[in-house]
Structure 1
Amino acid sequence: MTVKNQSLFHGEFLRFTAAYPGDTEHMARFTEDFDYLRRLDTDFAVPSQPSAFAKSSTRSGNSVEFMLRPLENDRLIGFVALFKIEWNNRAAHMAIGIGDPKDRGQGYGADALKMILRYAFHELNLNRVGLDVISYNESAIRAYTKAGFTEEGRMRSSVLRQGKTYDRIMMSILAAEWEALQNG
């Protein structure tokens, strides 16, 4: 594994930061977007109070979370996290959210994926990063596939939305697969 002289906290468009004062209120406003919540999680959609985000830490024993900000300013556009880290298995789950609809489709998600995978494999020395995504979130599935994730399986009809069921797709990428994509 070759570590290039490159900041793990900067990408092509974004940088990772800790939460700034006021970010909890901003993240709570993201949850007022029904579509955002329906793409982010399989739980029922309900806006969150800022206090819900204040309780989450940037770093704990089995999770790491970064706020996403464009390189040119301090505007919060979303978050990316590695959670349920199993140090003995060198494995983690990943989650990403771009809050404002106008920030989606701008390359931020792809950049955040590159950055969090580089961090997972080069800084945390993980071997596997997994995630799950709802089958109707086609843009996320394309982004994950383009980043090198492979579908491992499905939980059929496991998400019920407005009277219709959807699959939950399990995907992952291994360190060796990610390295091969970086070198080839």
Structure 2
Amino acid sequence: MRKLFEGDLVRLAAYDKEKDVEFEAKWVRDSDYMRLLDDMPGSLYSIKQMQEWIEGIGGDQGFYAIRTLADDKYIGTISLGGFAWTDRNAWVGIGIGDRDYWGKGYGSDAMKVLLHYAFTELNLHRVNLSVFAFNERAIKSYEKSGFKYEGTQREAIYKEDQRWDIITMGILQSEWQAMQG
């Protein structure tokens, strides 16, 4: 029997503010990672600044470390937050910081685990996300997870001397259930 927070490649675990923050501080210095994740440029955050940032966002949001099943290596984060409990909606965010795990299904597996939790344990009706239009690898991963295109915020960000769209995607509980067979 599979554990609730375990997939085929990864498990979602509590974020270790003492150990994991060192990786986060390194990842935010990676301009390619930050280009795909945030509209902010890469930054030289100290470990203390990263700890303060993590504490600031970790409150009631489901902020999880993504760890490999094979060797328990911390490779990224995934969060479920922005809850609208009356409507049973939430927003998901994910970042695989370790480049060795990009494009190999680890992010898709983490999303699969989180959606299972969102729809079976929290009984959410829908989960939303936003993604930069140029992040084609992420968009394909989200589509593979069952997310559908819902809209475009035209020219919403400015990166690399040009304007880019932000795509909004969502998945309904009924759509997710249909994918489970």
Length-normalised TM-score, structure 2: 0.92
Partner of 2:5: 9
Task: Write the distance in 2 (CA, Å) between the matches of 1:131 and 1:154.
Answer: 12
1:157 maps to amino acid: E
Per-residue deviation, 1:136? 0.5
Post-superposition CA distance 1:125-183 (Å, at most 9, x none)? 11111010000000000000111101111000111112111110000001000000111
Task: Write the distance in 1 (CA, Å) between the matches of 2:157 and 2:100.
Answer: 26
2:59 maps to amino acid: S
Task: Provide structure 2 residue ranges, at least 5 long, that are not aligned to the other structure.
Answer: none
1:129 maps to amino acid: V
Per-residue deviation, 1:92? 0.7
1:13 maps to amino acid: L
Partner of 1:50: 47
Q: Percent identity?
A: 38
RMSD: 1.6
1:60 maps to amino acid: G
Partner of 2:59: 60
Q: Does 1:19 align with 2:18?
A: no
Per-residue deviation, 1:43? 3.0
Aligned residues: 178
Over 2 Å off, 4+ runs: 42-61
Given the alignment, which residue of 171, 175, 182 partners 2:173?
175
Length-normalised TM-score, structure 1: 0.90
2:45 maps to amino acid: S
